[in-house]
Amino acid sequence: MVKLNNPYTFFNTLGIRIPMLPLTQYERWIKGVSSIKDYQLIWKQAVVKEAIYLSSPVVYKELEQWLVLGNQISDEKARRLEHTFIKYLSRMSSRCTPFGLFAGCILGTFDQEEEEIVPVSYEKYKRSTRLDMNVLVALGQELAKDVVIRKQLKWYPNSSIYRIGDQYRYMEYTYDENYRRRYSLEAVMQRTYLDKILNKAEEGASIITLASEITDRDITIEEATAFVEELIHYQILVSELEPTVTGADFMSQLQKTLQLVPGATLWKEKINKWKEKLAILDRKLGNSIEDYLQLTKEIRELIPLHKEVSYLFQTDLFPVLEKNKVPKRIGYMLQRMIPVFYAITAKTKKTALERFKDSFVERYETREVPLTIALDTETGIGYGSVAVDDTPFLDGISVPGVKQETVYQWTDQEEWWLRELEKANGSYSMSIDELPIEREVDWQQLPDTLSAMVQLITVEGKQQLVCKGVSGGATRLFGRFSSTDEEMQAFATTISAQEQMMEEECILAEIVHLPEARTGNIIQRAQLRSYEIPYLGRASVSPAYQLPISDLWVFVRQGKLVLYSKKNKKQVIPCLSNAHNYGNLHALPIYHFLCDMQGQQKQNYLGFQWGEIAEKRSFLPRVTYKNVIVSRARWRIVIADLKKILEATNEKDWVEEITRWRIAKQMPDRVQLVEGDNVLLIHLEVLESLQMFWAMVKKRKYIIIREFLSDVAMPLVAREKDSYAHELIVSFYKSSDKSKNECH
């Protein structure tokens, strides 16, 4: 058995996620609707309307026309809107992931004995509404165009700029037809007068101040000003109105900047008025949509928003709890599971960071190299999806493709799971009594902080946890709410301080980058660390605590990549305190590299995964280790098989036919349709839910369904006779001095 020499301790504070509405409310709705009148009664609830409007103004408008205005529409469209309405009602009562008013997050505490979470009535929940980041970015751009404001703004060098040879290179962005940013690497020749302007702009300077730097007998102030304006046009210089994603929210920072600008009275009054109206909306749930429409009209009159921009508001929901106590035994159970998760975690393939390290050693050996040079896509190694080709001599040569027959090699863990599946012999549930690999945990390989998403449910009279694993970086799931909730900010700051304590010889620096305008809605967070690395984003700390990319160098020591600040003479560990999924094909090389560096040589996810087995099996059982469910039962359904049943049967008999089908497959009557990270509750014994489900999937080849685990009889989260779906976020930190890491 794995030795339990466990250095992790759980924080006494934890996150509690619940939907806005109780699960039992949705159960009553879905089982009680039989005509449009039933849907109209639900639609009369102002909070339902507001939640759907904030999620999708387009869907709200269609539902309003159907359910209130009585617009004549085809039966097909009416059926589609009915299905859409059911999906939204399900989302706001069965799924816990925070989104608008559908679901929210609040903090709770562990208690030695008490075990009760009691929310107040949802009408008393707290909320925080702000303008969508798309709107705020457009507002900042519009302010920078105002002649009076523009003259008084401070301008800074583009935070992505670096010098290579006789050139300056930097990232420039434009917007495509879908209003998404498209980045390109641009270059400009190095010149003495450009050096002067960039040096002067380091601390921020007005256009006239920058122009004065290069004015002489040969260059008039008008010519110099025109040159500075050209640098601004090509984004070599950017203003202090560039978006921020750390510190106070961007709207507040715009207000603060304008307070120092004489002549910006109109804009200041408008922004103050908008903020006051948002504060009024935050006084309750169930506002009139007319309030939003009026504010939208005012905003569009001053900001020329793209016609495709329909999302103008972002709201975070903070449930209010009468009781917020969770039993400490949950923390201890999860603490004991960490080495178990370590044992069942499959080895990861070679990462982009490891491939970069190999290429770096091959090219630079032990030299210290500026990060910008090493990651330059033309002269350096590049990174991720834009890494430099390892075989440049083949460029331009077309190599005939030969189809390779590949034979998949099972991992040790997968082979072990296959044997256990054979033993289970088709049973609905499979218990693990021993672990696939006997190995002692290398605690140094694990992150300084961890978080686990968990449910507490009762199965056959026995309390069990539902948790598939733990992930590194405990600030990630709290950072998003830290800029709008003081308690969240305090807890996230506590976590980041603990992480800095574990790396006391290094600088932990927050990565400040805005990949897309709307991404700012989920990556905005408070200032959680003393140092920041700005990269196409504006830092919220003073210049003394900013680490520009030109200050960062990289080298390899003892088989490990080291990021180093020349200014501070210390190793730097980049940190990303939000849940942004940065590892996509469009991530910029430097941003991707910095994000990957926070988890270098760390096992950043520990947990259960079926791996390739999931692609080969039509059914996989629930997997339990002692009293923890680490994997839900799941089914891979071929739609052609389902089609034979449903399309050969009258709709009124669907439930009866599906009941026979699901019983034969050991499938419960409530399941979840899995689509990537999204899940949707399906009631297979309710015709309306079944019809919605079939309309969604009938054109696909196959789908994934998993069991829906909830506890209506003995729920952890309940109010009077209503029970709620829930997720708990339990976070851990290394408490042993022996687990401290050494910086190079």
Residue 25 carries which side chain, given as an amino acid letter? Q
pLDDT band for position 743 (cuts 50, 70, 90): low
CA distance 686 to 689: 5
For the beta carbon of residue 606, count every other beta carbon within 10 angstroms: 24
CA nearest to 215, candidates 231, 202, 230, 226: 226
Q: Are 435 and 2 in contact (CB under 8 A)?
A: yes
Q: pLDDT, tens digit, for every residue of 702-723?
A: 999 999 998 877 899 999 999 9
Q: pLDDT, tens digit, for every residue of 464-521?
A: 999 999 999 999 999 999 999 999 999 999 999 999 999 999 999 999 999 988 899 9
pLDDT band for position 388 (cuts 50, 70, 90): very low
Judged by DSSP in three states, 120 sits in coil
CA 728 to chain CA mean position, Å: 17
Phi, psi dihedral angles at 497 (to 5 degrees): -65, -40
Percentages of the chain per state (helix, strand, coil), in multiples of 5? 40, 25, 35
User: Which helix (H) or strand (E) segment is 680 a member of?
Assistant: strand 678-683
For residue 389, pLDDT over 50 is answered with no
Q: What is the second-level CATH architecture of the domain 154-239?
A: Alpha-Beta Complex (3.90)
- Average pLDDT along the chain: 91
CA nearest to 51, candidates 87, 27, 80: 87
What the block records as the tokens of 642 is 């389902």
Q: pLDDT, tens digit, for every residue of 335-366?
A: 999 999 998 888 777 889 999 999 999 999 99
CA 468 to chain CA mean position, Å: 19
CA distance 725 to 647: 34
Could you state, in order of their start, the residue ranges of all structural domains in the chain? 12-123+611-729, 127-135+246-318, 154-239
Cβ burial of 315 (10 Å; 0-12, 13-18, 19+) is: buried
What's this model's pTM, rounded to 2 decimal places?
0.92
